Structure 1
Amino acid sequence: MSQSLITKYNVSGPRYTSYPTVPYWDLDSFSLAQWKTSLKRAFNESNTSEGLSLYIHLPFCESLCTFCGCHKRITKRHEVESPYIKAVLKEWGLYLDLLGSKPKIKELHLGGGTPTFFSPEHLHYLISELLKDAELATDYEFSFEGHPNNTTEAHLQTLYDLGFRRVSYGVQDYNLSIQKAINRVQPFENVKRATDLARKIGYTSVGHDIIFGLPFQTETDVIETINKTKSLMPDRIAFYSYAHVPWIKGNGQRGFSDADLPTPDSKRQQYETGKQHFEAAGYVEIGMDHFALKTDSLYKAMENETLHRNFMGYTASKTQAMIGLGVSSISDSWYGFAQNVKSNEEYYHLLEHNIIPVFKGHILNAEDLAIRKHILNLMCNFKTDWEDDTLEFEELPEVLIKLKEFELDGLLQFEYKQVIVTEKGKAFIRNICMAFDLLLQRKKPETQLFSMTI
């Protein structure tokens, strides 16, 4: 890849799991009442045809991984499990009262934190209680994130019996020096054991998460990690760029200095090398940062142009409504976003008073909805069009001028009322989406809000 393009486009930018992005939500005009109305509207429009997605945030971890940007609570006290589960179920009950009729669950995902911090017995209780007052879509998908060091056969079997068929394991990198730097030491043998157990039990999709751009990481480290990964052949791989945002996450990402990180060009080379190795092994690049075998549902969704992207990342199907349960979880009605409080104590307090524990959000206006559709198209299908005239905002000429710059650099091409990202341009998809991001352009931040795009 051209060094000049890396230098030109390596800027701070969003990853676009939503639009508007969280820093640009209009908090002043948002209220819990508006969120309830927004969700009820989405539920009434889509529950019968699509169903509902549920994301459950389980925030506890026994130790702090210094690469992690997720909301978590570090503790070794497992007596925190039961009160937290009861609170999540209380929150779900408040949503059931709001929705007024039985929801149809299409997707359910357990994220964290470390979901396998919780005992199999507590996870069984949580899921079985959640599903008591719901029905399942015929093509439902349940998934969870497992820590290779503590995911047991009992965890896997319990969740399998409840309908889970997809699990993803955080691998990051197999070099011990890098693992120590990010405080995530886990031998290859642990990942192999967890992967083999999942397949023995019957999971149909096992994923591995690998990160490039980590402190002290070299291209050789990436190759060695991928070679070990290929010996297990997970069904899908998330190949993430390390997001260095210590100004947001505090000391959690300061277990090493900036000088220990790869340079932007060497980081990009790590990705390009990794991509070549994955494709040679039979994986296909899906959207941004993901690879899948052709037998996996994520690849099939890409082929059918049904790939979706939300706060859970890329999903193989779309639901209009997604409810996030637990501290810091974000919900999405398509017409609005709502985020829960981030403190366990405040979360418990609001639920004790029968209040849905939302503390901020955003209701999308017509312009937001138009831009969101096009950014989603680009992130999932690497193309978008405005044949239906949804791009009816005053700044459209300015957006087209910005896109022309990408065309001159060979990163996209124009057809009639359509933009198609080239193979070369896929590496710069975040930058291309930024051309549509009018809120980012109108309110340029005085301080850095996002990780670098390269």
Structure 2
Amino acid sequence: MNKTLIKKYNIPGPRYTSYPTVPFWDLEAFTKDLWMKSFKRSFIESNSDQGISLYIHLPFCESLCTFCACHKHITKRHGMEDPYIKTVLKEWDLYVNEMPEKPVIKEIHLGGGTPTFFSSENLSLLIKGILEPSVLHADYEFSFEGHPNNTTKEQLQALYDLGFTRVSYGIQDYDPKVQAAIHRLQTFEQVEKVTQWSREIGYTSISHDLIFGLPFQTLDSIKNSIEKTKSLLPDRISFYSYAHVPWVKGVGQRGFDEADIPKDDEKRALYETGKQMFLDLGYEEIGMDHFALKSDQLYKAMKNQTLHRNFMGYTTNTTQLMIGLGMSAISDSWYGFAQNVKTVKEYEALVASGEIPVFKGHLLSEEDLIIRQHILNIMCQLETAWEEDRMAFPQLASVLDSLKEAENDGIVHMGNERLTIPEAAKPFIRNICMAFDLKLHQKQSETQIFSMTI
């Protein structure tokens, strides 16, 4: 990669799992009643054909990992499992009661936190409760995030028996010094064991999450981590840039000195080295930060141009409506976003009172919807077009003008009412999306709120 371009474009920017991004939601115009109208509209339009997606947030972790920016609740009290599961199921009932017909479930993803904090019995109780008033889509896919240290064979079997075929394990790095810094201690042998269990049981897509740019990481340590990954050959790999945002998450990311974190050319070298090793192993790069074997559905979705992106990241399932259940979970009706309250106590209290526990959100304007589609096209297909009138918007000319310098730098091609990003310019995807992000330009923050783009 051209080091000059990396320095030039390595600026704070969103990861674009939504548009508008959360910091630029119009909170004043949002109400829970308007959100429910948006939800019902989307359900009626899409349920019988596409089906719906469910994201279920299971927030409990027994210890704090300092690289993590997710909403979590640190506890060793497993007695909290039962009331939380009951609350999630009651929240689901509140949504189901607003549906004119049975929901058709196409996708379920269990995220966290640490979903495998929960016992196999409680995980089974949760999924059975979700499915009881529902119908399964013909092409449904269920997935969950597993912690290698506490995922048991019983949990894997219980979820597989309920239809789960995908599991993602958070590895991050195998170097003991890096693991100590991020407070995520796990051995390769433990990862190997849960990966082998998953294959033996019948999981068809196993993913490993790795992070580059962590404190104390070096070229040697990243090579070592990928060599270990090579021996297990997971179907998918997420290779995320470490988002150092201590101003957002406070003391959790202050467990090491700023000087210990690889930056600029050093950090980019970690990614380029890892990327080349993945390509050499037969993986294909998918969008941004993801790699998959050609046998995996994520690769096939990219080739078929059916790849989708939402708050769960890249997915093979395109659903208009995604309902987020659990503390801090975000729902997406395509026409609007809504986020649940962020503490377990408040979440359980609101649901117990019969309220859908949404506390903020955003209702998309017609202009928002057009921009959202352009950004989704760029993130998933590395291109977008505006030859159709429905994809034009008043500020388009100024957006394209702002990309002239990027075009001169070779990171984007424009012409014939179409924009494309060359394969070699994938590291700059977020920068190209930022040109379309009208909300970002209209409400520039005086303080940094996003991680660096490259």
Matches within 5 A, 1:149-298: 149-298=149-298
AA paired with 1:308? H
1:349 Cα deviation (Å)? 1.3
Asked if the contact 2:207/2:238 (under 8 Å) is kept, the reply is yes
Match of 1:375 in 2: 375
Asked if the contact 2:42/2:334 (under 8 Å) is kept, the reply is yes
Match of 2:2 in 1: 2
Matches within 5 A, 1:316-331: 316-331=316-331
User: Which segment drifts farther, 363-372 or 264-273?
Assistant: 264-273
1:76 Cα deviation (Å)? 0.4
Residues 358-417 of structure 1: per-residue CA shift (max 9 Å, x gap) = 000000001100000000000000000012123443321210012211110011111311
Q: TM-score, normalised by structure 1?
A: 0.99
Secondary structure class of the residue paired with 1:67: coil
1:22 Cα deviation (Å)? 0.1
Asked if the contact 2:385/2:391 (under 8 Å) is kept, the reply is no
1:228 Cα deviation (Å)? 0.5
Unaligned runs of 5+ in 2: none
Q: C-alpha root-mean-square deviation of aligned residues, in Å? A: 0.7
Residues 291-312 of structure 1: per-residue CA shift (max 9 Å, x gap) = 0000001000001000000001
Match of 1:27 in 2: 27
Match of 1:144 in 2: 144
1:340 Cα deviation (Å)? 0.2
Secondary structure class of the residue paired with 2:50: coil
Matches within 5 A, 1:52-451: 52-451=52-451
Residues 189-214 of structure 1: per-residue CA shift (max 9 Å, x gap) = 00000000000000000000000000
**Distance in 2 of aligned mates of 1:52 and 1:395:** 33
**Distance in 1 of aligned mates of 2:216 and 2:207:** 25
1:248 Cα deviation (Å)? 0.4
Secondary structure class of the residue paired with 1:45: helix
Overall identity of the aligned pairs, in %: 64
**Distance in 1 of aligned mates of 2:407 and 2:223:** 32
Asked if the contact 1:308/1:380 (under 8 Å) is kept, the reply is yes
AA paired with 2:125? Y
Residues 8-40 of structure 1: per-residue CA shift (max 9 Å, x gap) = 101000000000000000000000000000010
Asked if the contact 2:386/2:392 (under 8 Å) is kept, the reply is no
1:317 Cα deviation (Å)? 1.7
**Distance in 2 of aligned mates of 1:383 and 1:133:** 40
AA paired with 2:256? F
**Distance in 2 of aligned mates of 1:415 and 1:303:** 23
**Distance in 1 of aligned mates of 2:89 and 2:161:** 20
**Distance in 1 of aligned mates of 2:385 and 2:235:** 32
**Distance in 1 of aligned mates of 2:235 and 2:297:** 9
**Distance in 1 of aligned mates of 2:310 and 2:264:** 27
**Distance in 1 of aligned mates of 2:268 and 2:43:** 42
**Distance in 2 of aligned mates of 1:264 and 1:30:** 39
Secondary structure class of the residue paired with 1:390: helix
1:345 Cα deviation (Å)? 1.1
Q: TM-score, normalised by structure 2?
A: 0.99
Secondary structure class of the residue paired with 2:69: coil
**Distance in 2 of aligned mates of 1:243 and 1:38:** 32
**Distance in 1 of aligned mates of 2:263 and 2:165:** 39
AA paired with 1:425? A
Matches within 5 A, 1:9-20: 9-20=9-20
**Distance in 2 of aligned mates of 1:244 and 1:4:** 22
AA paired with 1:372? R
AA paired with 2:410? G
**Distance in 1 of aligned mates of 2:277 and 2:147:** 25
AA paired with 2:262? P
AA paired with 2:270? Q
Residues 197-247 of structure 1: per-residue CA shift (max 9 Å, x gap) = 000000000000000000010111111100100100000000000000010
User: Which segment drifts farther, 380-389 or 204-213?
Assistant: 380-389
Asked if the contact 1:411/1:423 (under 8 Å) is kept, the reply is no
AA paired with 1:432? I
**Distance in 2 of aligned mates of 1:415 and 1:278:** 33
Work out the number of aligned pairs and report it. Answer: 454
1:99 Cα deviation (Å)? 1.3
